[in-house]
Amino acid sequence: MINILLINVSNLYVKMSDTYNINNQRNERQINNNYMAYTSLKKNLKKIDIKYINNKALERLLDYTGYKNIYSMIKDKDNHEENIYKIISLYIAKNASRQGKKDEYLQYNYINKLQKHGIVIMTGGTIRPIKTGGLRLYGDKKNDELKTIDFLIYYREDIIGYITAKVTSGNGGHQDNVLNEITQFCEWSLIQTKNTEKKAYIILYDNPVISNLYSSIQKTYSSVNILFTNTPNFKKDFLKWFNNNYEK
């Protein structure tokens, strides 16, 4: 016998059972959203029902195709085939926000320019911070570990700094996840600073939109050895810390 639980969500009842599959529900909802957007376009190109439209996606489409509105784009018969190519390519192209390794590579190339000071930055490899403090250098990943360290800072063959590097664009769910990871890194850094002197714990965060939550995290955790910066300002900010802690 299957037990069914009814949950009231905004006056809507959703049936939950052992056969319930949220992915199937989401896919069906997306198919319906696509159909409703299509119907709205067919009904009136000059007055689209906004409750069926992703406004940001619409802005991207118009910006990419170079039109002021959907009506102008669809009615432009002279460029019909070219517009079809553009619409398809916009839909199937890889999402740049999912190419984190490329962002990390760009950050690395930009910040690793301190060799004349005897400072070398290397990728973190398998080094993993532990929630309660300390680092794990090998073995299978365990539940008490945070995200791996992105970059290590070496001076005279000694590690003098750890960097967590993040890139986001705007606000939203992905940024919330990133800020949660930053907070965890800061908590770990606080533990480390109590046990280790003369090491920098750096949050390298690139985002054109600095949210109130990020500003709050920065205010809460900024200290002598916990540094918040971005890629363009990294060299200046780190050298200021370095010159205050190490002899020239």
CA pair distance 198, 123, nearest whole angstrom: 20
In this predicted structure, what is the pLDDT of residue 104? 77
In this predicted structure, what is the pLDDT of residue 243? 93
Q: What does pTM read for this prediction?
A: 0.64
HSE-up (13 A, CA, CB side) for residue 137: 1
In this predicted structure, what is the pLDDT of residue 17? 42
In this predicted structure, what is the pLDDT of residue 122? 92
CA pair distance 187, 183, nearest whole angstrom: 6
Say what angle helices 234-245 and 100-111 make with each other, to 10 degrees.
50
Degrees (nearest 5) of the Cα angle 74, 78, 81? Answer: 70
In this predicted structure, what is the pLDDT of residue 30? 83
CA pair distance 74, 65, nearest whole angstrom: 11
pLDDT mean for each 10 residues of the chain (248 residues): 42 44 70 86 84 84 89 89 84 61 80 92 88 86 86 93 86 72 94 87 89 92 94 95 84
Q: What is the length of the chain?
A: 248
In this predicted structure, what is the pLDDT of residue 101? 62
Domain with residues 98-245, CATH architecture: 3-Layer(aba) Sandwich (3.40)
List, by residue range, all CATH 3.40.1350 domains of the chain: 98-245
In this predicted structure, what is the pLDDT of residue 96? 57
Q: Are 164 and 150 in contact (CB under 8 A)?
A: yes
